[in-house]
Amino acid sequence: MSLAPAPVPPTSPAESDLVRAARGLPVSRTPVWFMRQAGRSLPEYRSLRAGTVMLDACQDPDMVTEITLQPVRRHGVDAAILFSDIVLPLVVAGMDVEIKPGIGPVIDEPVRSVADVDALPSLEPEALGFLQTAVRQLVAELGATPLIGFAGAPFTLATYLIEGGPSKEHARTKAFMYAEPEAWGRLLDKLAVSAAIFLRAQVDAGAAAVQLFDSWAGVLSAADYAERVLPHSRAVFDGLGDRERGERDVPRIHFGVGTGELLPLIGDAGADVVGVDWRIPLDEAARRVGQQRSLQGNLDPAVLLADRATVDREVRRIVEQGKAARGHIFNLGHGVLPDTDPGVLTHVAELVHELTAS
């Protein structure tokens, strides 16, 4: 909760409201950004991307820079999120992954055996020059606005590798987890190493915060999550460096969908900020997570398709409930839906700022 005004306006990403809220420090107003704010509903994104395959766009520093900046210019949000994808480290390591328009990541030869796990290529930090170029360009352009770097968490990446593409039940993934516990551990270890390399590259080049997306962890029971997944997500955060020694000491956001029952564990994995979806109100989330961590969320992205009065009512409710948290970063409960009117996003950012200005 903010008790005293912050020095305003922020003069550097490290002093920004986003970083301050993540650390539980007083803010000038509640920071707001939107998951999947880049590359969804913006016409300027569609025209820039036309004719370029998604995974090529992610490896072109100038295109990454421009697409990342578009929503910041348009909506006045308090953070940029790097335009990339959670499967990019796999692609750069040499795996055969494609992003099919309208579907998502697809892998021709899914991981189904111990031998498949052992045959996975490793990510070499030297292969991430394009990413660091993009981050450096962005940091130069963004001034005091922080850039959030991100990676996919080991579990969520494992779902794509094992299922071969997007899935609802993640049944093959769970079957592999139960039937091949040793290979499962080796697979998640490998994915944790590559996620840590991917995050380190972004932070070393100047990202001011990181988010680990464990989008599909909510399909697991708390016991399975704690035993079979959490240690690997913790390894990603630990792999960023020793915070006590000041190594890459940037705020760490950890998010998954449908994780109401997992929230304390999501925090325990090493987060400063726990991302919350719309299924659970922020005051209840604050009770579950405690006052050692901040919260991020949690407007239902579908609300943005409703009338303006509904949008405003829900935004006000979330701002109120967010006061129960140590610190609050306003966001959606999951990514922007593709049909969202960009004007509504701009309006929400303005309203959050107006309601919370000290």
Q: What does the DSSP assignment read for 168-234?
A: SS-HHHHHHHHH-HHHHHHHHHHHHHHHHHHHHHHHHTT-SEEEEE-TTGGGS-HHHIIIIIHHHHH
Nearest residue to ligand 1CP, by Cβ distance, number only: 104
| Residue matched to tokens 């992954």 | 97
Q: Are 133 and 82 in contact (CB under 8 A)?
A: no
Shortest separation between residue 155's beta carbon and ligand 1CP, angstroms = 11
Say whether 85 is catalytic. yes
Shortest separation between residue 302's beta carbon and ligand 1CP, angstroms = 14
Say whether 252 is catalytic. no
Say whether 160 is catalytic. yes
Looking at beta carbons only, is 28 or 83 nearer to ligand 1CP?
83
Residues that bind ligand 1CP (CB under 6 A): 36-40, 54, 81, 83-86, 99, 101, 104-105, 150, 156, 166, 213, 215, 335
Q: Are 295 and 322 in contact (CB under 8 A)?
A: yes
The annotation places the binding site at: 36-40, 85, 160, 215, 334
The annotation places the binding site for substrate at: 36-40, 85, 160, 215, 334
Q: Are 253 and 294 in contact (CB under 8 A)?
A: no
Looking at beta carbons only, is 68 or 294 nearer to ligand 1CP?
68
Secondary structure (3-state) at 44 = helix
| Cα–Cα distance measured from residue 275 to residue 318, given in angstroms and rounded to the nearest whole number | 13
Pair type for strands 104-107 and 97-100: antiparallel
Name which of 265, 272, 268 is nearest 326 in CA terms: 272
Selecting among 49, 112, 186, 243, the annotated active-site residue is: 49
Shortest separation between residue 83's beta carbon and ligand 1CP, angstroms = 5
Shortest separation between residue 313's beta carbon and ligand 1CP, angstroms = 25
Shortest separation between residue 150's beta carbon and ligand 1CP, angstroms = 5
Selecting among 17, 20, 29, 40, the annotated active-site residue is: 40
Name which of 280, 238, 247 is nearest 263 in CA terms: 280
Looking at beta carbons only, is 6 or 263 nearer to ligand 1CP?
263
Say whether 49 is catalytic. yes
In Å, how far from its chain's centre is CA 220? 19
Looking at beta carbons only, is 6 or 22 nearer to ligand 1CP?
22
Q: Are 112 and 176 in contact (CB under 8 A)?
A: yes
Looking at beta carbons only, is 89 or 267 nearer to ligand 1CP?
89
Shortest separation between residue 228's beta carbon and ligand 1CP, angstroms = 19
Selecting among 20, 29, 78, 85, the annotated active-site residue is: 85
Name which of 24, 3, 2 is nearest 251 in CA terms: 24
Looking at beta carbons only, is 26 or 166 nearer to ligand 1CP?
166
User: How big, in percent rounded to 5, are the helix, strand and coil portions of the chain?
Assistant: 50, 10, 35
Say whether 172 is catalytic. no
Burial 316-346 (b: 16+ CB within 10 A, else e): eebbebbebbbbbbbbbbbbbeeebebebbe
Name the residue type at position 36. Answer: R
**Residues forming the active site:** 36, 40, 49, 85, 160
